[in-house]
C-alpha cells in the first residue's frame, strides 16, 4: 500500500474530515483514482458520516476567494482605467447568471453599481431567427441576436441616456417592452451577460480597453476518469436536465434531444472566443451531483427505450449517479444559509 493511500485511509479511520481542506480532499480522490482505486468511496464516506456541510462550506469559501480576485481586478480597472463594460460568457449551464449575481454583490461592496443586461432579451423573434442546414430555427446562432438594437442601446447607455429595455418572452417567442428602463450613473458599470458575450462582433464600436471579459465554465473537479464514466460536457448536461425540468417543465428526453445542437452551437459560436477572456471562473462544486441526484435520477429513468440514443445516454448518466451518495435533508438544512452556487436556477 502506498503512502498516499495510507494517508487517505488514515483520514477515514481517524474521522478527520472536519480538518481536511477541499484541496486535500480532492487531491486524495485524484491520487486514489490514479492508483487504480475507487476514489468515489472516499466521497461517499464523507457524505454518509455527515461531513458534507463542512466541505461544501470550504468549497464555497474557495469560490468566493476566486471571485474576490476577479472583483478586485474589475474594481481597479474601473477606477484607474475607465472600464465601462463587463462581458460574462460561457456555454449552457456553466453558471453565468449566478456568477454575475455574486460579482454584482461584491462590486456593490466596493462602491460600484453594476447594471446587468441579459443578452437573452435581445433575441430576435422566432420568425426572424436564422435557419440551420436542415431548415430549422438555429437557436444557438450568434445572429439570433438583434445586434443592431443592442449596439444602439449600449451606445445610448454609455452616453448617459435612459434606455427602454426589452424582455424576451419565451412562451410567445418574441421580444416585448414592458416599461423597464435603465440609466447608468457615474458609479455604474454595465454588465452584458449571455452565451455570446465574448464574441468580438457583439459591440464592436466599443473600445476593447473599456471591456473586461469573463469566461465562465463548469469543469467537474473530481469526477473525471474512466471509473466514473463522465464525459467532458456531462457536468453541464446534468445541470441542464435539472434546470430545464424545474424552470421550463422539459423532460430529460427533450433536453437530451436538444443537447447535440447546443454543443454544436457552442463549438461554433462560444468556445472559439474563450481565449479572449481576461479571466476564467469554474463554477463546479464538489457536491453538486450528490445534490441533484434524487431529481435527475428520476428524470433519467423516464427516458423511454423507444428513443435508443437518448436512452443510451440516460442509462450511462444514471449509472454514474447511482454510484454517488445523495445529500440528506439534514445536509441541505445545514448548508441552506450559505448555499450560493449549488442548485442555482441558471439561465440558458
Q: Write out the chain's pLDDT in tens, 348 residues.
A: 344 334 434 444 445 565 667 777 777 777 776 776 667 778 888 888 888 888 788 888 888 899 999 999 999 999 999 999 999 999 999 999 889 999 999 999 999 999 999 999 999 999 999 998 889 899 899 999 999 999 999 999 999 999 999 999 988 899 999 999 999 999 999 999 999 999 999 999 999 999 999 999 988 766 544 556 677 789 899 999 999 998 888 999 999 999 999 999 999 999 999 999 999 999 988 888 888 899 999 999 999 999 999 999 999 999 989 988 998 777 766 665 445 444 444 444
Residue 344 placed within a domain:
no
DSSP E strand stretches across the chain: 85-89, 113-118, 163-169, 174-182, 188-193, 211-217, 279-282
Closest CA to 298 of 229, 251, 337: 251
Residue 345 placed within a domain:
no
Residue 256 placed within a domain:
yes
Residue 224 placed within a domain:
yes
Cα distances from 316 to residues 106, 181, 216, in angstroms, run 39, 47, 26
Rounded to the nearest angstrom, the gap between the alpha carbon of residue 220 and the centroid of all alpha carbons in its chain is: 11
DSSP E strand stretches across 119-259: 163-169, 174-182, 188-193, 211-217
CB 133 within 8 A of CB 264: no
Residue 346 placed within a domain:
no
CB 202 within 8 A of CB 150: yes
CB 246 within 8 A of CB 296: no
d(CA 106, CA 97): 14
The per-residue pLDDT for 46 is: 83
At residue 238, the 3 state secondary structure works out as helix
Residue 347 placed within a domain:
no
Which domain range does residue 77 map to?
3-338
Question: Number of folded domains in the chain?
Answer: 1
Domain of 267, CATH number, reads: 3.40.50.300
C-alpha cell of residue 123? 433575441
3-state SS, one letter per residue, for 18-75 = HHCCHHHHHHHHHHHHHCCCCCHHHHHHHHHCCCHHHHHHHHHHHHHHHHHHHHHHHH
What is the pTM (predicted TM-score) of this model? Answer: 0.85
Residue 148 placed within a domain:
yes
CB 247 within 8 A of CB 348: no
Cα distances from 59 to residues 13, 53, 90, 279, in angstroms, run 23, 10, 21, 19
Amino acid at each position: 500500500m502506498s503512502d498516499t493511500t495510507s494517508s487517505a485511509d488514515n483520514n477515514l479511520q481517524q474521522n478527520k474530515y472536519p480538518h481536511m481542506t477541499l484541496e486535500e480532499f480532492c487531491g486524495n480522490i485524484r491520487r486514489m483514482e490514479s492508483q487504480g482505486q475507487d476514489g468515489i468511496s472516499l466521497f461517499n464516506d464523507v457524505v454518509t458520516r455527515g461531513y458534507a456541510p463542512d466541505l461544501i462550506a470550504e468549497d464555497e469559501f474557495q469560490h468566493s476567494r476566486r471571485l474576490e480576485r476577479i472583483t478586485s481586478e474589475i474594481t481597479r480597472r474601473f477606477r484607474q482605467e475607465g472600464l465601462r463594460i463587463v462581458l460574462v460568457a460561457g456555454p449552457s449551464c456553466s453558471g453565468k447568471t449566478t456568477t454575475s449575481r455574486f460579482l454584482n454583490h461584491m462590486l456593490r461592496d466596493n462602491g460600484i453599481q453594476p447594471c446587468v443586461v441579459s443578452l437573452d432579451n435581445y433575441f430576435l423573434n422566432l420568425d426572424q431567427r436564422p435557419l440551420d442546414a436542415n431548415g430549422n430555427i438555429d437557436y444557438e446562432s450568434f445572429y439570433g441576436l438583434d445586434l443592431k438594437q443592442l449596439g444602439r442601446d449600449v451606445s445610448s447607455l454609455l452616453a448617459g441616456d435612459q434606455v427602454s429595455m426589452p424582455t424576451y418572452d419565451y412562451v410567445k417567442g418574441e421580444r416585448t417592452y414592458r416599461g423597464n428602463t435603465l440609466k447608468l450613473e457615474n458609479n455604474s458599470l454595465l454588465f452584458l451577460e449571455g452565451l455570446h458575450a465574448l464574441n468580438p462582433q457583439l459591440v464592436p464600436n466599443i473600445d476593447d480597453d473599456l471591456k473586461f471579459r469573463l469566461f465562465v465554465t463548469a469543469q467537474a473537479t473530481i469526477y473525471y476518469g474512466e471509473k466514473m464514466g463522465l464525459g467532458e460536457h456531462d457536468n453541464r448536461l446534468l445541470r441542464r436536465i435539472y434546470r430545464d425540468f424545474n424552470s421550463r417543465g422539459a423532460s430529460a428526453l427533450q433536453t437530451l434531444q436538444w443537447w447535440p445542437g447546443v454543443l454544436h452551437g457552442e463549438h461554433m459560436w462560444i468556445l472559439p472566443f474563450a481565449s479572449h477572456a481576461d479571466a476564467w471562473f469554474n463554477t463546479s462544486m464538489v457536491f453538486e451531483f450528490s445534490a441533484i441526484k434524487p431529481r435527475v435520477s428520476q428524470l433519467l429513468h423516464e427516458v423511454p427505450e423507444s428513443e435508443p440514443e437518448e436512452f443510451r445516454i440516460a442509462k450511462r448518466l444514471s449509472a454514474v449517479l447511482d454510484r454517488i451518495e445523495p445529500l440528506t435533508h439534514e445536509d441541505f438544512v445545514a448548508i441552506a444559509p450559505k448555499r450560493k452556487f449549488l442548485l442555482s436556477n441558471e439561465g440558458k
